[in-house]
Structure 1
Amino acid sequence: MTFPFDIDINLSQSGITGIQNKTITVNGGVTTFLGPNGSGKTQLLRGLKSSLGGHANGKKIRYVSAGRLGPMENFRSDFDGQRGGRPNFDIATFGDKSSTSRRHLNETILGDFGTLSERPDILIKVQERLRKLFRRDITLDWDGGKLKVFFSRVDQETSSNYSSAREASGLLHLVAILAALYDDEVGCLLIDEPEVSLHPQLQSFVMDEILKVAGPNTEVGKKLVFISTHSTEFIEVSSVEQLSTIVFCKDILEQAVQIDPTIGEFQSRKLQALLTRLGQEHKLALFCHSPLLVEGPSDEIICSAINRKLNINLEAAGSQVLPVTGKGQFPVVIKLLRLIGKSPALLADADALTDNLDIIGVFTSLDKANVFASELGHRDAPELARNIYNDYCQLVADHWSDIQARAELHYYWINRDTDKDELIAKRRSAFCWLFSNDDASITSVNNGANWVSIKHRLSTLLVLLEKLGCFILKKGTIEAYYQHVSNLTNDEKPNAASYEVNGLMGENAETVTANYNDILRALQFCSQAKEINEAEAIRDLLLAVITPALATIKKETSDAELRLYSNNLFGAKSSLFQLSKEENGDDLYLLVELASNILEVEGFPLKIKKGSNPIEIVNEALKLK
């Protein structure tokens, strides 16, 4: 067996309408499926199981499910609510003699315990690791034709055996995976979520064990391993070759993405150097579809706080704030992420635009950039950016004196590096001054019309860039947006960001939106998730309950009759609202209370006059359109 080779995955048994078979390339001993929940990783693994027949070298194909401890729950938990809180720990059994013949077909821990009962050599390997690393021992016993499994502590002289059902979930998962890995009768092993119940260090240990056995199954003791994971501990991406073993999943209805390590882009030294130093944060970006790149820890702290404060649900929507050290790394990181099927966005300081066109050029060179440029009345996006940038630089160089007194008050000028080109500091400061003032104020300086004109052209460029996912901080840096703390020194930036977060979390949503709008737009671009609004979720039920109540309510109607009538129509759902009646002269009103302490909905109690339009009243009270 030699790598690479292709496998056609048969997905005909998935039961999903419109699904088509997929093809993946096996580039090494371990192939990893990555993607968010619901992206089809498990379906691909299951389809792969039935498609590996010609690649197992005559050996067994074993699939280990994410719910592999399922059969133990009858003994480990009060699974039906009738155990009185006392699970049946001590009667746990795991199959009979006949079931061991089906152990490679069994997708749960029963198959692994069956392996340990049949293969003393595998049992010894597992026992040795449990003893030395976790101070545990495992023994198996056939009792009345049923397999029982016991653990004991090896660090206690008087320790006695106890039922495996009493052992920690993490160690049980570990035993299952190790038994499957060491089984040399298996030529292809598929593990769904090997990280389940394992802490990060234990995940790293399991990954090391996987790498020891993974390889061409034509070699002694080696097998092809396929895993689906949500953990960075099971990702090795320090080289182009390792990156090519990852299958990036977005949706089961779409073809998964794999990179070809032989294409020209991956011969770039910068890209290869980036892969060798990918940290944990970068690896997290591999799990999301639209990572948001920022310049450092302060930007990440503020973005994360705004995300929480305004309920943007960035991570749930498939994004991740990814700090990149040094803005010079932006182009190569963006290029890498695009090559593996991601759609990265960028939130950058103003100098990402004022210093040169290297960073924004990564966005204006996209195919769709010219489409967006045409919507703004321009044919060519790179040319549009270049012309505006050159004219801006020329205006700053020729007419700096027009705005010098004002622009030199900006952070960029005060903290400039005097050893570097002073013209760079002028461009940065001038940009921030322009976007910190209205047109009337700008017009008042010498050559004001020219400065207003270039501001409008820069605004056009910023609109184009934001459509492409590139957001420039108009005030300069993230610190310029702070409302609750003065700028500290560079060494204190993370501390300043933390103080700022404490302040902004105490503000109302409208204030945060206004103060951090440039940052908010970037977060919303990456999230693109609809706002969670529980008022919308209950509106239809509320109208369904109150409309017939309004139609039937009379002066002689009692509150009990109102509630009984609603319950007859809607059952338990009607209990969400407490209905009562109020009279005011000849007018009759229906009062509605929300009978829940967990729903976050404003506008209650409602008071609705009989004969009025309940839709208008409900929408107004709940602030819905």
Structure 2
Amino acid sequence: MSVDQAALHPPQQNEPPARPASMLPLPLHIPVAPHLYGGGSVPLTLHKGITVLLGPNGSGKTHVLRGLKLALQSALDGLAQQSGRPHLKARFLAAGRSAPFEHFRGALTDPGGAHPAPAAVGHTDYRNRRHDFESLVGDMLALRERADLRFKVEARLQALFRRRLRLEWTQSGLVLTLVSPQNEYPANTEASGILHLIGLLAALYDDQVGAILVDEPEISQHPQLQAFLLEEMRRVAGDPVRERGKKIVVLSTHAQGMLPLRRIDDLPSLIFFADVHTAPRQVSPDAGELGRRRLAALVTRLGGSHRAAFFATRVLLVEGPSDEIVVGALAARFDRSLGGSGAEVVPVTGKGEIPETARLFRLMGKRVVVLADLDALADDNALVNAFAEEAGTKAAAIEAGHSKLAAMDGALRTAFASAVSEWWAEIAPLALGHHYLRDADVPAEKASRRAALAALLSAEEAALLRLPHGVEWCALRNRFGALLRALEAGGCFVLRRGTIEDCFRPDTPANTTGKPEAAADEAATFPEAPETDLRQRYADVLRAVERAATAPPIDENAFLRFQLASLLAGVFQVLKPGTGADEIALAAAAHHEAGQLFALENATSECGGAPALRVRITSPLFTRPTFPAIVRRDQNLHAEVERLLS
């Protein structure tokens, strides 16, 4: 019987309280502020000893973490009442937990610099309330009061850094001194990462704590130390009822190194946050996907890019490192911020892994976008099936006259295979140059089908119409176009030319598949390449990027346009041929902020007597090639400002 279950079935009068058999899994409802997820409460379940909250900044993780602390304290109090065990504390460590030491380290609270004295924190009156601190002060108090806890922490410091601790009360507070084989020094002169580690270890091994909640445990920890810290958390994490000395650990993190994910059954212990409008998502242990062998195998071999995508809201799956290089460079060239959109590019090892990887990220509530090579469509229907149930794809298939995407794809696949078999000789001249036909590891029939599809989708319509069965080939192309549009409506984009290398400039070296060096060479040309050329060669890629990178481009000019238009409109009201600099400055003073960006001079004499102003940008933060410029009052002010700051 869990803690919550015992609470639902109170003992009869004179009957001893039932001893709970376990505390986990622990279902909770966490109250949230009205601006989060529509208000009310968020249902969450702690399934294992470690639970991790993942998501972007501003998505409500810290708020929920604080709510979890209160809920866990209530559960621990109930455990003590039911079992007669000592009361355990729920301890919350905030992201700013080192703040009490920081004003001794730098010019944080005044411009005069760091406080020269050793850091002294806390007060003797706080010793019995040390678990209420959200900072490292509570841990330093615990280390001072308990030699056994201090030895537990020192054993690890000695192994990692050859450091020991000394804590002494002074009139100013508790002073922490670190002792090394060479010297000793105040804690405020030590690396902040070591201070964080000391506090976290103290909280982890404090047996008076039954639940520890840490906001961003990775702060100031290098990756290897993050891995060490996670292993220390694994040592103590568990069910406080079933295993004495174990405690519940809840983390909110942005670090891959703090993900306790080894097996697929660890997924329900991750809680995914997206934004303040969307309630956090948690995978149910009963989800059917967790029983899939291929998905389980994928989880065990997740690489760094896969794990990075756990923190994203959108995932763009591509086939290999070459695609990843090109996608990143194109996004930068067209000012589409993947990172600013919460998107992560994940290269998969071959088209066969796309459906399972997409399934994994959808299970977490991620929005999945795929950029696939053409052979993923040509060879079989796995890619189509992976997107058949997406709402956009289903609607597009119905609009094209098919009840399901599978039916649309099946009929087209059969018709195309028949056309290639019967009419290969006539489309071969268009397909023979494609590298698909040069792949010795691919059976001839499959290679021909791939190359024919690339030719069909890439060739000019006039070239197809010149073929003996040109009308039939064009009809097939139109049907493939409808299928591809349906897939794109669900987030799946297919490279019509074949692979990413088929989009490269003809003179790019090593124009073959599987060459990241060639992709890097190609990407290096993007900053200077004409936009129209890139849009033509990489049309499919850019649509995928735009689907994943939903954040609008940063537009500084929008702010400048507003300031300049208001400034010009105001000054033109008083401008005459003889208006001097002082009068212009007085008129501009009504637009103080704009006056910090732009300088105006009377240029009427240079424009045949028509009132005009010469405009210069004075801020070094903004340089534009269109300035300085002359603007006349008789011009369309809106259009001219738009032209200057487009």
The TM-score range, normalised by the shorter chain, is: over 0.9
Residue of structure 1 equivalent to 2:3:
none
1:62 maps onto 2:73 in alignment = no
1:415 maps onto 2:442 in alignment = no
1:123 maps onto 2:150 in alignment = yes
1:79 maps onto 2:108 in alignment = yes
Aligned-pair distance for 1:15? 6.6
1:581 maps onto 2:602 in alignment = yes
For 2:160 and 2:339, the matched residues in 1 are separated by 35
For 1:526 and 1:464, the matched residues in 2 are separated by 17
Residue of structure 2 equivalent to 1:547:
569
Aligned-pair distance for 1:488? 4.8
Work out which of the residue numbers 345, 353, 356 in structure 2 matches 1:321: 345
Aligned-pair distance for 1:23? 0.8
Residue of structure 2 equivalent to 1:6:
27
Aligned-pair distance for 1:622? 2.2
Work out which of the residue numbers 21, 43, 52 in structure 1 matches 2:63: 43
For 1:217 and 1:501, the matched residues in 2 are separated by 54
Conserved in 2, the CA contact under 8 Å of 1:189 and 1:226? yes
Work out which of the residue numbers 101, 121, 136 in structure 1 matches 2:163: 136
Work out which of the residue numbers 239, 261, 270 in structure 2 matches 1:216: 239
Sequence identity, in percent?
Answer: 35
For 1:244 and 1:10, the matched residues in 2 are separated by 21
Aligned-pair distance for 1:251? 2.3
Residue of structure 2 equivalent to 1:497:
519
Q: In the TM superposition, what whole-angstrom CA distance separates every residue of 1:524-564 from its partner, at most 9, and x where no partner exists?
A: 10111211111112221221211101111122322243234
Q: Which moved more, 1:49-58 or 1:273-282?
A: 49-58
Alignment of 1:170-569 (within 5 A): 170-218=193-241, 219-417=243-441, 420-483=442-505, 485-488=508-511, 493-567=515-589, 569=590
Conserved in 1, the CA contact under 8 Å of 2:61 and 2:273? yes
Gaps in structure 2 of 5+ consecutive residues: 1-21, 80-86
Give the direction of change, closer, same or farther, for the CA distance of 1:602–1:258 in structure 2 (3 Å limit). farther
Work out which of the residue numbers 26, 47, 52 in structure 2 matches 1:32: 52
Conserved in 1, the CA contact under 8 Å of 2:437 and 2:444? no
Give the direction of change, closer, same or farther, for the CA distance of 1:386–1:235 in structure 2 (3 Å limit). same
Gaps in structure 1 of 5+ consecutive residues: none
Residue 344 of structure 2: SS of its match in structure 1?
strand
For 2:324 and 2:35, the matched residues in 1 are separated by 41
Q: Which moved more, 1:371-380 or 1:191-200?
A: 371-380
Give the direction of change, closer, same or farther, for the CA distance of 1:2–1:441 in structure 2 (3 Å limit). same
Give the direction of change, closer, same or farther, for the CA distance of 1:192–1:460 in structure 2 (3 Å limit). same
Aligned-pair distance for 1:227? 0.4
Aligned-pair distance for 1:132? 1.8
Conserved in 2, the CA contact under 8 Å of 1:551 and 1:610? no
In structure 1, what residue type is equivalent to 2:579? T
Residue of structure 1 equivalent to 2:72:
52
TM-score of the pair, normalised by structure 1:
0.94
For 1:82 and 1:289, the matched residues in 2 are separated by 40
For 1:544 and 1:16, the matched residues in 2 are separated by 37
1:112 maps onto 2:134 in alignment = no
Conserved in 1, the CA contact under 8 Å of 2:167 and 2:174? yes
1:607 maps onto 2:634 in alignment = no
For 2:301 and 2:36, the matched residues in 1 are separated by 40
Give the direction of change, closer, same or farther, for the CA distance of 1:28–1:445 in structure 2 (3 Å limit). same
Q: Which moved more, 1:422-431 or 1:274-283?
A: 274-283
For 1:460 and 1:249, the matched residues in 2 are separated by 35
Q: In the TM superposition, what whole-angstrom CA distance separates every residue of 1:150-190 from its partner, at most 9, and x where no partner exists?
A: 22332x2xx2x222111111111111111111111111111
Conserved in 1, the CA contact under 8 Å of 2:37 and 2:279? no
In structure 2, what residue type is equivalent to 1:186? V
Conserved in 2, the CA contact under 8 Å of 1:416 and 1:425? no
Q: Which moved more, 1:257-266 or 1:474-483?
A: 257-266
Conserved in 1, the CA contact under 8 Å of 2:118 and 2:187? no
1:20 maps onto 2:40 in alignment = yes
Conserved in 2, the CA contact under 8 Å of 1:290 and 1:343? yes
For 2:215 and 2:328, the matched residues in 1 are separated by 30
1:571 maps onto 2:592 in alignment = yes
In structure 2, what residue type is equivalent to 1:217? P
Aligned-pair distance for 1:503? 2.2
For 1:616 and 1:501, the matched residues in 2 are separated by 35
Aligned-pair distance for 1:3? 2.8
Aligned-pair distance for 1:93? 1.0
1:149 maps onto 2:176 in alignment = yes
For 1:273 and 1:451, the matched residues in 2 are separated by 42
Give me the CA root mean square deviation: 1.9
Aligned-pair distance for 1:377? 4.3
Q: Which moved more, 1:124-133 or 1:395-404?
A: 124-133
Give the direction of change, closer, same or farther, for the CA distance of 1:270–1:500 in structure 2 (3 Å limit). same
Aligned-pair distance for 1:256? 1.2
In structure 2, what residue type is equivalent to 1:298? S
Aligned-pair distance for 1:312? 0.9
Q: Which moved more, 1:540-549 or 1:16-25?
A: 16-25
For 1:16 and 1:344, the matched residues in 2 are separated by 24
For 1:424 and 1:438, the matched residues in 2 are separated by 23
In structure 1, what residue type is equivalent to 2:89? K
Conserved in 1, the CA contact under 8 Å of 2:596 and 2:619? no
Q: In the TM superposition, what whole-angstrom CA distance separates every residue of 1:232-283 from its partner, at most 9, and x where no partner exists?
A: 1111222222111000111234321111122322211111111121222211
For 1:611 and 1:482, the matched residues in 2 are separated by 49
For 1:38 and 1:424, the matched residues in 2 are separated by 49
Residue 274 of structure 2: SS of its match in structure 1?
coil
Aligned-pair distance for 1:55? 2.2
Q: Which moved more, 1:404-413 or 1:195-204?
A: 404-413
Conserved in 1, the CA contact under 8 Å of 2:50 and 2:260? no
In structure 2, what residue type is equivalent to 1:546? L
Residue 187 of structure 1: SS of its match in structure 2?
strand
Aligned-pair distance for 1:360? 1.7
Give the direction of change, closer, same or farther, for the CA distance of 1:564–1:217 in structure 2 (3 Å limit). farther
Conserved in 1, the CA contact under 8 Å of 2:35 and 2:276? no
